[in-house]
Each structure stands twice: as structure tokens, then as C-alpha cells.
């Protein structure tokens, strides 16, 4: 029992300038699990759903090695629902509706069978829920990775700062890093955030790639330049899933291996945006992943001997 994933399992409805998704499966824990399951199984899922969540989706996850013992099913209630509309740049979006439903009073319970997980990833949820999960592990996982968002910085900063002291790796986007640190320079922001607890910081910059900070080191993973971005929803969670999946597979949490892991995350994210929701990452093959990773090598490899 190696990897535990905590996050939402939800319905999304997405509108881009080019298409509408209708009601589809979303949620941070789903994206993370679909991505990570290409590298490591089983995956211990912790989440909450309503009675409206399709059993076919649960079966599909199980078939990918996702264990659902930690997923609470609330009879008579509805799953979390989000709808949003992307602007022409496909980078910015407006939320049209956010219905917390079962997520509103979510109290996660870690099943005994999940105890001993070496890797734990806390998808974007209230800091209080994230803290509760950490507290329930009798032995601290070898590596705890945490995602969060600006909303929690606005409404639950004190709780967020407490969780930060308990995790190894924090993932935020550039705007969130600036908000959390009060620094515009991402290098300065990273230094400040690492002083708040996490030894490693990943700053996601969407189509501009991601930075990994550790002590005085910095590593940069580009995003793959693509002909088109069809739907960016879930790309950050998919990135997180590829990252933790590679680490859990290799059981190596060195800085060097984290570099490889964020390249793997970037590769998985580059698939995610090719179709709506989880559509692309649930069908991606090992051969396609290997080919995409080779493209990343080509994208950044250079020979500096001549200089």
C-alpha cells in the first residue's frame, strides 16, 4: 500500500470558445489517480461522492488499480459540481457555478488498509481536511505532497499555514506563490514559502512550464508546445498525478529524481489538455507516454561542450 490520494471526485461542465463538454467526470482526486495509475498501483483514494456518481466510473477506476475503500458515498446527496467557461486565451476562466454538495461537510476517514502508505498527495481541498488526513496516519508517510489554491489563502490562511509545516512538497501556481509570499519575484517567493515549512516547492506556470525549488537549487520543466489546447481543466492535477506516480514507482525522493518526476508530470499534463476532462488521460498508453517523454528530452537537451 504505497500511494494515498486525497481530493475531490466531481462533476464538471466546461465551456471553451470552441466546444461544450456537457456534464463530465472531474475532481482533483480523479485526475491525480488517472495520471498516477500509469506508474504505480494500487492507489488508495480518499474522497466523498453523492449517490449520483456513476458506478461505471467507480468500476473504471478500480480496473486501473484505484482502491475506493476511503471514498465515502452519501446517499440522498449530490456530488461536488463545478462549471466554468474559458476565455479565448484558454488560460483564464470564469466559474459559472460551484456547488459543494457532499464536499461541504467532508470528514475524511483513512481506512486501516491505507495505513503504512509511503506516499501521500493532498489534492486541493480545505486545509482542515488536509490536516485531518495527515493526523490520521499512524506512521508519517515518507513524502507528503500538497496542492492548494488562492481561495484558501483568502479564507483559511491560518489553517493553511499550519498544514504547510507538515508537508514536504507544496504545489501552487505563480499567482498563488506571489499571494502567499507577498513577493513578485518567484525566486524570492520560493525562498519565503520554503521557510514556511515545505522543503520543496513547485510553482506551476501553465503553458509556461513549472519550476522546482529546493534549497538554493532550481529546476525548470517546460510545457510541451502544442498545436492546440482543447481543455486545460485538470492539467494541474494531472501534473501532480504524474509527479507523485513517478516518485511512488521509483521510491526515490531525491532532488534529482524529483526533476524527472516533474518532467513526467508535464508529459501527463500535455495529454490532459488534448481532450475534455479525463478523456485523454484515461486512454493514454505506456507507449504514448514513453514517446512524449522522449519529446521532452528533445525539447530541452543541448550540448554545451563547445562553449
Instruction: Please count the other Cβ atoms lying within 10 Å of the Cβ belonging to residue 129.
Output: 20
Residue 85 or residue 166: which is nearer to a copy of itself going by CB? 85
Site of interaction with a copy of itself (CB under 8 A): 88-89, 184-188, 205, 208-209, 211, 217-222, 225-229, 246, 250, 252, 256-257, 259-260, 263-264, 289-290, 293-294, 296-304, 306-307
- Residue 183: partners with Cβ closer than 8 Å, 6 or more residues away: 189, 192
Please, what is the minimum distance in Å from the beta carbon of residue 57 to a copy of itself? Answer: 28
Tell the smallest beta-carbon distance from residue 140 to a copy of itself (Å): 25
Spatial separation of the C-alpha atoms in residues 260 and 263, rounded to whole Å = 5
Shortest Å, Cβ 219 to a copy of itself: 6
Nearer to a copy of itself, 48 or 229 (CB): 229
Residue closest to 105 by CA, chosen among 168, 48, 26, 178: 48
Q: To the nearest whole angstrom, how small is the minimum distance from the Cβ of residue 259 to a copy of itself?
A: 4
Query: Which CB atom, from 158 or from 256, has the smaller least distance to a copy of itself?
Result: 256
Name residue 277's beta-bridge partners: none
Q: Return d(Cα 31, Cα 5) in angstroms, integer.
A: 10
Torsion sign across C-alpha atoms 61, 62, 64, 70: positive
Question: Least distance in Å: CB of 89 to a copy of itself?
Answer: 8
By C-beta, is 46 or 178 nearer to a copy of itself? 178
Rounded Cα distance between 84 and 78, Å, is: 19
Nearer to a copy of itself, 42 or 222 (CB): 222
By C-beta, is 2 or 136 nearer to a copy of itself? 2
Return the half-sphere exposure (C-beta side, CA atoms, 13 A cut-off) of residue 169: 28
Cis peptide preceding 124, ω within 30 of 0: no
Please tell me the distance from the alpha carbon of residue 268 to that of residue 263, in angstroms, as a whole number.
9
- In angstroms, give the least distance from the CB of 118 to a copy of itself: 17
Amino acid at each position: 500500500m504505497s500511494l494515498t490520494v486525497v481530493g475531490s471526485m466531481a462533476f464538471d461542465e466546461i465551456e471553451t470558445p470552441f466546444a461544450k463538454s456537457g456534464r463530465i467526470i472531474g475532481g482533483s482526486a480523479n485526475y491525480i489517480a488517472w495520471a498516477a495509475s500509469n506508474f504505480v498501483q494500487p492507489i488508495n483514494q480518499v474522497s466523498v461522492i453523492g449517490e449520483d456518481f456513476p458506478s461505471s466510473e467507480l468500476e473504471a477506476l478500480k480496473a486501473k488499480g484505484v482502491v475506493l475503500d476511503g471514498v465515502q458515498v452519501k446517499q440522498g446527496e449530490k456530488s461536488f459540481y463545478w462549471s466554468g467557461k474559458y476565455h479565448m486565451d484558454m488560460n483564464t476562466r470564469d466559474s459559472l457555478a460551484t456547488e459543494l454538495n457532499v464536499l461541504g461537510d467532508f470528514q475524511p476517514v483513512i481506512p486501516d488498509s491505507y495505513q503504512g502508505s509511503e506516499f501521500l498527495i493532498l489534492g486541493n481541498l480545505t486545509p482542515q481536511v488536509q490536516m485531518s488526513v495527515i493526523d490520521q496516519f499512524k506512521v508519517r508517510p515518507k513524502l507528503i505532497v500538497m496542492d492548494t489554491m488562492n481561495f484558501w489563502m483568502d479564507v483559511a490562511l491560518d489553517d493553511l499555514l499550519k498544514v504547510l509545516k507538515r508537508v514536504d512538497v507544496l504545489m501552487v501556481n505563480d499567482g498563488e506563490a506571489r499571494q502567499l509570499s507577498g513577493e513578485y519575484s518567484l525566486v524570492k517567493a520560493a525562498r519565503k514559502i520554503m521557510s514556511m515549512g515545505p522543503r520543496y516547492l513547485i510553482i506551476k506556470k501553465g503553458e509556461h512550464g513549472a519550476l522546482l525549488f529546493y534549497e538554493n537549487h532550481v529546476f525548470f520543466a517546460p510545457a510541451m508546445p502544442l498545436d492546440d489546447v482543447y481543455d486545460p481543466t485538470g492539467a494541474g492535477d494531472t501534473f501532480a498525478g504524474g509527479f507523485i506516480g513517478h516518485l511512488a514507482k521509483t521510491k526515490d525522493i531525491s532532488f534529482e529524481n524529483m526533476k524527472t518526476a516533474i518532467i513526467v508530470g508535464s508529459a501527463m499534463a500535455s495529454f490532459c489538455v488534448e481532450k475534455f476532462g479525463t478523456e485523454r488521460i484515461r486512454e493514454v498508453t505506456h507507449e504514448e507516454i514513453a514517446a512524449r517523454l522522449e519529446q521532452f528530452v528533445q525539447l530541452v537537451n543541448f550540448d554545451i561542450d563547445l562553449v
